[in-house]
Amino acid sequence: MISSPDSTFTNKTMLDLPFLRKEVSELSEKVAEFIYKEAQDFDKDDIEVKSFNSLVSYVDKEAEKKIVERLRELLPQAGIIAEEGTGTPKEEGFNWIIDPLDGTTNFVHGIPVYSISIALAFTEKKEGKTKTELLVGVVYEVSRKECFAAHQNGGATLNGKKITVSGENELGKSLIATGFPYEDFDRIEDYLFMMGKMMKAAHGLRRLGSAAVDLSYVAAGRFEGYFEYNLNSWDVAAGALLVKEAGGIVSDFEGNEIVENYIFGRQIIAATQIHSQILKLVKDVFLKK
């Protein structure tokens, strides 16, 4: 169990990860109820534009406030890496990585694919090297009331039932997910070419609009793979742990499976055993220059 609020942990082994997983799952469900309620009467006039095609609403901000408030009670010494800027990250030790509403554009337009994504990471620095581990990951898909949860070495679940990645090992029989660039268009031609190659190679290609949901669906065996670039840590941290705990493979576009590479490196491939097949296609396009 978590000790008193004023206790300070410097070692991840002192945490009760199943307890944190349960608490974060319950927190996500409560915040999802708020988001779902607000969605019923949401007015597009209430949105703000952070940058080109990057939207935020009072719902994102209020959801983040509710999440951070509770997470600080659970682990007060942890830093906060959150999309809307609440809290301060820590270079070493624990960090909560939070997206209060992944898929804001969908939410704003009334498209029912958006989620809450919360992960707990632990970073340590030794001999000039930095190592990050993902300890807890929860993605709550609001509209379908689906809670995907995992903790390190504890497996992955959907609404409490164990999930595993698909057993499909042929790309030609696999359904693949991706995301579209929405503000960084420097490599748009490469990306369009990549999607063309994937459409020809796979059973199908989908774009849902929430990276956290895409990754959760890979973990649950609904998609066989997912790839995207120009992402932030809060988009993928929880989902990446879900995939790994469900038996999948996660890497960056070079095939490196080091956590910090695909969490903070702004590119990710998550898949079943077809990972190597997706990786080859991605390398052929994105690493050719």
Binding-site residues = 83, 99, 101-102, 235
Cα distances (Å, whole numbers) of residue 235 to 6, 86, 179, 200: 30, 16, 11, 27
Structure tokens at 101: 């509403």
**Residues 219/239, Cβ–Cβ less than 8 Å:** yes
Helix (H/G/I), strand (E/B), else coil: 190: helix
Binding residues for Mg(2+): 83, 99, 101-102, 235
171 Cβ contact partners less than 8 Å away, ≥ 6 residues apart = 201, 202, 224, 225, 274, 277, 278
> What is the DSSP code (8-state) at residue 89?
-
Structure tokens at 234: 């809060």
228: which strand partners? 268
Q: What b/e readout covers 202-236, taking b as 16+ CB neighbours within 10 angstroms?
A: beeeeebbbbbbbbbbbbbbbbbbbbbbbbbbbbb
